[in-house]
Each structure stands twice: as structure tokens, then as C-alpha cells.
Amino acid sequence: MENLIEIADVRHTFQTASGPLPVLDGLEVSVPEGGFVAVVGPSGCGKSTLTRLIAGLLIPDEGSVFVHGARVTGPRANVGMAFQNPVLLEWRTILDNVLLPLEIVASPLSKTEKQDRARKLLALVGLEGFENKRPSELSGGMKQRASLCRSLIHQPEVLILDEPFGALDAFTREDLWQTMHKVKAEEPFTAVLITHDLRESIFLADQVVVLSGRPARTQFTLDVPDTGIRTLDHLYTPEAAEMLNILRHQIEVAQGRVPAKDVA
């Protein structure tokens, strides 16, 4: 199967005031079309840098990043991004915030069609009736939902999520996980999710990539068996417990706290 995203042997070093800082060193990530890959790793290891590579905001020193068979040489309109900070524009309504990417990306839709699409997305994430509210009137979880709609409005090939739920409380976060599944069923996308939450990674993704400490290389890859529609109950099965154990061990290795041990 051809991969939508292909990152092969990528190395990158930042030149900082205090000398060169190697951030990526031997990164390998492949995401098939329609796939959902979660990336976990120690803090500061280079996860956000990885998202910037896929978005074309950063060109690596060495190695290559391919999206849909084409080498990434700069920003392309086919990605949508959402961050931990929802970065909604305070002076716009929620609807106009969601429509923002369509003001940059060429779209065959008419003005009303665009608005209809934005309303449909907002309804899908449970924000029906909030179209004309300002971001300051929304809770943190609702802002994150709006931000998700904005990242999907132009039907990007690749959805890049950099810890979008990181600042939310546990209940809101679980709500949003379920919303993600619902959205993916309606609006198929290929996603790369950066997260610090191992339960989140196995709940949402079909593959979890563990990065080593800085400079990051791909240390371990875990395939999450396709269990059909996932519910929160899946997180409390023995299979889930085992996956979490493996991942937790790999993170400890990445942090350099324990040596690697063989896992069957």
C-alpha cells in the first residue's frame, strides 16, 4: 500500500545562540492513506519539529519528507493544523474563524456552500448554535472543537494535531476523543497526532510511534489492533493494559531511565 506520508531517515539541527542543537536524527514515520498515527516521546525531543516538517514549514537538513508521493519543499494547502493553543481570532465569530482557511486556499465552493460546510462541521463536533459567538464566550474544550473544525474546513489530506487536548481536563479530553472518532467517520482524514497521553494514543490511533530523547529517532512502533468502533471501555481491557505497559516502558527507555528490555 502506498503511504500518504513517508518520512525517511530525516536529520535536522537547529543553529541556536548556544551552538548547534541536533533535534532529529534518524526519523522514520510512514502513514498510510486514511491512517491515524500517534507520536509520543519525551518532552522537548522534537515532536513539534516533526509536525512542522510535514506541514512544509521546515525543510530538514537531510532525508526527505513525502506527502502523496511529492517531496515537501514548502507549505502546501493540503494540511490542516490544530495546536494545544486553539489560536482562535478573538475579533471573529466562531463561524468566521472556521472559514479562515478558505480565505487562503482556493475553493470551488460558493460563499453559501462554504458557510453550510462550516455549519455542518460545527454541528458535527457539537457546536451547533455557537456559530455567531466570539471565542471568548467558549470554554477551553469548545474552543478546541472550533479549532478542529477550522483545521478540517478545506478538506486537507493531512491533519496535524500537536497536543490539541493537552490543556484540557480529563473528562473534556475523553469527550473530545469520542468526537474525533465521530468526525473521522463522517470526514475521512489522514492524521498525525502528537500527544503526551498514552491512553489517548491507543484510543485514537492505529499506530503509535515512540521517539527517543533528543535528538529524536524512531525508537519503537506499536500497531494498535483494529477493534472497530472504539469506546472508552476498550481502555480497560487486558489488551489495552498490555499495550499501555509496553508504551510506558518504551517512554522510560526514551527518557534514559531504564535500559531496553525485550518485549515479546
Ligand X SMILES: Nc1ncnc2c1ncn2[C@@H]1O[C@H](COP(=O)(O)OP(=O)(O)OP(=O)(O)O)[C@@H](O)[C@H]1O
161 part of the interface to ligand X, by CB under 6 A: no
Q: How distant, in Å, are the alpha carbons of 4, 23, 26 from that of 15?
A: 30, 10, 18
Q: Which of 89, 150, 107 is nearest to 125 (CA)?
A: 150
The residue within the footprint of Mg ion, chosen from 9, 26, 32, 48 (CB under 5 A), is 48
Any bridge partners for residue 5, and if so which? 31, 67
CB of 48 to ligand X, least distance (A): 3
The residue within the footprint of ligand X, chosen from 11, 14, 184, 244 (CB under 6 A), is 14
Residue 43 interacts with which of another protein, ligand X, Mg ion, none, CB < 5 to 8 Å by class? ligand X
CB of 12 to another protein, least distance (A): 17
Scan for cell 497536543, then name that residue: 163
Residue 81 interacts with which of another protein, ligand X, Mg ion, none, CB < 5 to 8 Å by class? another protein
Closer residue to another protein in complex, CB, 52/182: 52
The residue within the footprint of another protein, chosen from 23, 24, 38, 79 (CB under 8 A), is 79
Closer residue to another protein in complex, CB, 119/134: 134
Distance CA 184, CA 192 (A): 13
Distance CA 47, CA 166 (A): 14
> Cβ distance 54 to 192 under 8 Å?
yes
Site for another protein in 30-69 (CB under 8 A): 52, 55-57
70 part of the interface to another protein, by CB under 8 A: no
Q: Which of 83, 74, 82 is nearest to 54 (CA)?
A: 74
